[in-house]
Amino acid sequence: MKNKQYSLGSKILTVIFAILSVVWILPIVEVLINSFKSNDYVNTDAFALPNADSFVGFANYVKGVTFGNYPFVKALGYSLIITILSVALILLFTSMTAWYIARVNSLFAKIFYYLCLFSMIVPFQMVMFTLTFTASQLKLNTPYTIPVIYLGFGAGMAIFMFVGFVKGLPLEIEEAVAIDGGGPVCTFFMVVLPMLKPTLISVGILEIMWVLNDYLLPYLVLDRTKYMTIPILVQYLKGSYGSVDLGATMAVIMLSIIPIIIVYIFCQKHIIKGVAAGAVKG
């Protein structure tokens, strides 16, 4: 009887989550459909499928890439530079910090850990104006220095996940390395870091999706006359008198989200494993 109830409950949940999945993916489908339609038809009938009159093929994609004074390839390059540098900094420094917090039983480590957790609940809007001024004063307003800011904002979640996973690692392995004469640097990079692979992958993917899609922080910090990321470039796809070519805009939006979708599809199992490991262990 219990098995039947469990089976019925599972089926109901499956149907509910399937409906939610369709609702969730519908905006992406609409962007994809409208990226193949002319601008007039996007404005008049956004929910209709492309037909013989509205279908323009890949013309919107060509126009979106070549439109305006700022090249799409250049914006893509800056987005990749910011994402790669930011994620690399977050993974390296937060994993080392988490190892210290998990292994050093001191008041300072506990206070620092809770401060990192507290940073996760502070809304960005509360600090964005002060942050803009500080970033300008410290010359952090370039694609090569803004990763330092991303490190600060991404450290809370990463440290939380890494600490939970490190607490579940056997301490005896690290003690064996210390007996053999290995110092803290050798222990971390040769022993601890390889064992952190599941959480490294999951944190890395989550941070990539966040940084690559982020609009507000680069918009506030970067000098937009010199540097633009893909989300910022989408805002500037305007013609004369402020007119917006929605077809080209949809095409650029689609080009910006396709890499994220591909990464998530192939790496979602690592995200789930890493989050579960970091949240349950310890």
Q: At what angle do helices 147-166 and 107-119 cross, to 10 degrees?
A: 120
Residue 32's identity, in one-letter code, is: L
Q: Are 231 and 218 in contact (CB under 8 A)?
A: yes
Locate 242 and state its tokens: 């402020």
pLDDT the model gives residue 181? 79
Locate 23 and state its tokens: 């609702």
Please give the CATH superfamily to which domain 70-280 belongs. Answer: MetI-like (1.10.3720.10)
- Compute the distance between CA of residue 262 and CA of residue 218 in angstroms, rounded to an integer: 24
Residues present in the chain in total: 282
The count of other CB atoms within 10 Å of the CB of residue 76 is 18
This prediction's pTM: 0.81
Per-residue pLDDT of the chain in tens (282 residues, 90 and over written 9): 555 555 777 888 888 988 988 888 888 888 888 888 888 888 787 788 888 888 888 888 888 787 767 788 888 899 999 999 999 999 999 999 999 999 888 899 999 999 988 888 888 888 888 888 888 888 888 999 999 999 988 898 899 989 988 888 888 888 888 887 778 888 888 888 888 888 888 888 889 888 988 888 999 898 888 888 888 888 777 655 556 778 888 888 888 888 777 877 777 776 666 555 555 444
SS3 244: strand
Could you give the residue ranges of the DSSP H alpha helices within the chain?
Answer: 2-34, 39-44, 59-66, 72-103, 107-119, 128-137, 147-166, 171-179, 184-187, 193-195, 197-213, 216-221, 230-235, 246-280
SS3 37: strand
Residue 194's identity, in one-letter code, is: P
Q: Which residues pair with 238 in a beta bridge?
A: 244
H or E segment and range at residue 175: helix 171-179
pLDDT the model gives residue 272? 65
Locate 133 and state its tokens: 């001024």
pLDDT the model gives residue 254? 86
pLDDT the model gives residue 90? 95
- Compute the distance between CA of residue 145 and CA of residue 13 in angstroms, rounded to an integer: 46
pLDDT the model gives residue 282? 45
The count of other CB atoms within 10 Å of the CB of residue 146 is 25
pLDDT the model gives residue 275? 58
pLDDT the model gives residue 91? 94
Gyration radius (Cα) of the chain, Å: 23
Residue 111's identity, in one-letter code, is: I
- CA 125 distance to own-chain centroid: 18
